[in-house]
């Protein structure tokens, strides 16, 4: 079986441990639909922690494209 | 074990250094399967100790090993230890003189205070195995045998000698489990050695073994998750002690239908019902069978040993 080394992928919010990598490509609406009624914390707050705005994005500058 | 006569070299020297350590009274035993699955003795490779120190990382790797065949199983503290050899076996002649034949067997017994039927059942599972044992003494020394270079090995027990029983409480005594065994006749007390407590930085004295965890009920199963009540084997039949504090890293989910690992999205421990966990997983196909187990590679992060359970996607 594949070994999942989760130590650096886990974020704990309230009583829930999330695998951060599982939210790549997920929208906020999809997240809220998936977790509706399942978390003891506010879903908007949880989403903010899972999808921080300061995430490093791929550069799309013209210089890089050149 | 037969003691070889040193006919060619004479007797051994009998001097001693001015100061040297000795074993203290045993406080715990660590049961192991004597042989690993590869056939080698399930011992401690001394070169594998960081800086020659048995540290917490090493101890955790052994006690929380996901492989039960190579795991260490420390007992709770033991009381009223007896660890003695029977009288030598001799042959006596008509003139009343006698000659030494062999040493008597070394037998060990001890009591586990507040031992209960659950622990008793787990002790009884050892009876048919080829067992080795390390001892932890009061000074925190780890005692085994040194019969091969570079290793401290467990001491071999005589097959089928392991016995455990429940001693019920009385008006004046507490309930206990007793355990006893006999050291193999292949072993020689002269080979006993220890890793001194001063070379052990781990919290060895008082180390606890793993606690069994089973899934009592699996409910609310959908293609994207399920709830499961996880309990230990201890407690009343209607009031099992729940397994609390588990998290994402304590589980692996395997889709047995597609033969693939399912990366769990999240695990939530209920704040209302102790031991109730909600799993969220990527969408699975109807009728798939999921198997939930300990992580495939250890050591385990908690002292909880999950028995695998199955989730059938509706």
What is the pLDDT, as a whole number, of residue B64? Answer: 97
Domain contains B7: no
User: In terms of domains, do B160 and B265 share one?
Assistant: no
Domain range for B234 is 211-312
Domain contains A58: no
Domain range for A35 is 25-53
User: In terms of domains, do B192 and B224 share one?
Assistant: no
More confident residue, B124 or A52: B124
Which residues in chain B show pLDDT less than 70? 1-4
pLDDT at A59 over 60: no
Domain contains B246: yes
Gap between the Cα atoms of A15 and A46, Å rounded: 11
DSSP single-letter state for residue B158:
P
Hey, which residues 24-63 in chain A have their CB within 8 Å of chain B?
Answer: 34-35, 38-40
Would the CB atoms of A15 and B268 count as touching at under 8 Å?
yes
Which residues of chain A have a CB within 8 Å of the CB of B249? 6-7, 10, 17
What is the pLDDT, as a whole number, of residue B2? Answer: 56
What is the pLDDT, as a whole number, of residue A57? Answer: 52
Please give the tally of structural domains in chain A.
Answer: 1
User: In terms of domains, do B158 and B292 share one?
Assistant: no
ipTM for the assembly: 0.80
Domain contains A33: yes
Picking from A15, A18, A40, the nearest residue to B265 by CB comes out as A18
User: In terms of domains, do B128 and B156 share one?
Assistant: yes
Q: What is chain B's length?
A: 314
Domain contains B154: yes
What values do phi and psi take at B118, rounded to 5? Answer: -65, -50
Picking from B254, B263, B265, the nearest residue to A1 by CB comes out as B254
What is the pLDDT, as a whole number, of residue A64? Answer: 46
- pLDDT tens digits for A15-36? 999 998 888 888 899 999 999 8
User: In terms of domains, do B181 and B112 share one?
Assistant: yes
Domain contains B94: no
Last residue of a domain, one of B140, B173, B199: B199
Please give the tally of structural domains in chain B.
Answer: 2
What is the pLDDT, as a whole number, of residue B226? Answer: 97
**Which CATH number characterizes residue B299's domain?**
2.60.40.1220
What is the pLDDT, as a whole number, of residue A54? Answer: 41
What is the pLDDT, as a whole number, of residue A3? Answer: 41
Residue in chain B closest to A33 (alpha carbons) equals B224
Helix spans in chain B (H): 56-63, 117-124
pTM tops 0.80, yes or no: yes
Last residue of a domain, one of B141, B176, B199: B199
Domain contains B165: yes
What is the pLDDT, as a whole number, of residue A40? Answer: 82
User: In terms of domains, do B50 and B163 share one?
Assistant: yes
Q: Mark residue A49 as left, alpha or beta (left: phi above 0; alpha: psi -120 to 50; beta: remaining).
A: alpha
Gap between the Cα atoms of B32 and B62, Å rounded: 10
Domain contains A1: no
Which residues of chain A have a CB within 8 Å of the CB of B266? 16-19, 22, 35
User: In terms of domains, do B272 and B152 share one?
Assistant: no
Q: What is the CA B176 to chain-centroid distance, rounded?
A: 19
What is the pLDDT, as a whole number, of residue A1? Answer: 38
Domain contains B260: yes
Would the CB atoms of B224 and A34 count as touching at under 8 Å?
yes
A6 touches chain B (CB under 8 A): yes
Contact B28, B136 (CB under 8 A): yes
Domain contains B9: no
User: In terms of domains, do B173 and B215 share one?
Assistant: no
Domain contains A2: no
A11 touches chain B (CB under 8 A): no
User: In terms of domains, do B134 and B271 share one?
Assistant: no
Domain contains B10: no
Burial A16-46 (b: 16+ CB within 10 A, else e): bbbbeebbeeeeeeebeebbeeebeeebeeb
Domain contains A31: yes
Domain contains A46: yes
What is the pLDDT, as a whole number, of residue A41? Answer: 85
DSSP single-letter state for residue B17:
-
User: In terms of domains, do B194 and B80 share one?
Assistant: yes
Would the CB atoms of B263 and A22 count as touching at under 8 Å?
yes
User: In terms of domains, do B183 and B293 share one?
Assistant: no
Gap between the Cα atoms of B222 and B200, Å rounded: 49
């Amino acid at each position: 079986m594949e070994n999942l080394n989760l130590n650096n992928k886990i974020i704990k919010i309230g009583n829930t441990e999330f695998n951060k990598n599982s939210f790549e490509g997920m929208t906020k609406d999809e997240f809220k639909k998936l977790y509706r009624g399942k978390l003891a914390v506010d879903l908007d707050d949880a989403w903010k922690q899972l999808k921080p705005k300061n995430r490093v994005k791929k550069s799309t500058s013209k210089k890089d494209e050149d | 074990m037969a003691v070889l006569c040193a006919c060619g070299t004479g007797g051994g020297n009998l001097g001693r250094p001015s100061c040297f350590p000795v074993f203290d009274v045993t406080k715990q035993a660590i049961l192991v399967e004597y042989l690993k699955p590869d056939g080698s003795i399930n011992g401690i490779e001394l070169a594998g100790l960081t800086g020659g120190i048995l540290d917490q990382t090493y101890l955790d790797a052994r006690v929380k090993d996901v492989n039960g065949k190579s795991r260490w199983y420390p007992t709770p503290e033991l009381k009223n230890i007896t660890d003695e050899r029977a009288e030598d076996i001799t042959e006596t002649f008509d003139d009343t003189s006698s000659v030494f034949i062999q040493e008597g067997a070394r037998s060990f017994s001890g009591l586990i205070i507040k031992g209960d039927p659950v622990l008793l059942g787990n002790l009884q599972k050892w009876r048919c195995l080829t067992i080795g044992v390390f001892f932890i003494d009061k000074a925190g020394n780890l005692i085994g045998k040194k019969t091969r270079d570079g290793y401290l090995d467990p001491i071999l027990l005589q097959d089928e000698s392991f016995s455990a029983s429940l001693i019920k409480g009385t008006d004046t005594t507490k309930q206990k489990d007793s355990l006893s065994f006999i050291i193999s006749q292949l072993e020689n007390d002269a080979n006993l050695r220890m890793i001194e407590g001063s070379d052990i930085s781990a919290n060895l004295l008082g180390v606890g073994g793993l606690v069994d965890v089973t899934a009592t009920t699996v409910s609310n199963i959908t293609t994207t998750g399920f709830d499961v009540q996880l309990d230990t084997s201890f407690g009343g039949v209607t009031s099992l002690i729940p397994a609390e504090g588990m998290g994402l890293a304590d589980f692996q989910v395997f889709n047995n239908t597609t033969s693939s690992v399912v990366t769990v999205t999240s695990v939530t421990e209920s704040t209302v019902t102790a031991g109730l966990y909600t799993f969220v997983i990527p969408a699975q196909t109807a009728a798939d069978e999921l198997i939930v187990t300990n992580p495939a590679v250890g050591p385990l992060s908690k002292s909880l040993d999950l028995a695998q359970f199955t989730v059938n996607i509706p």
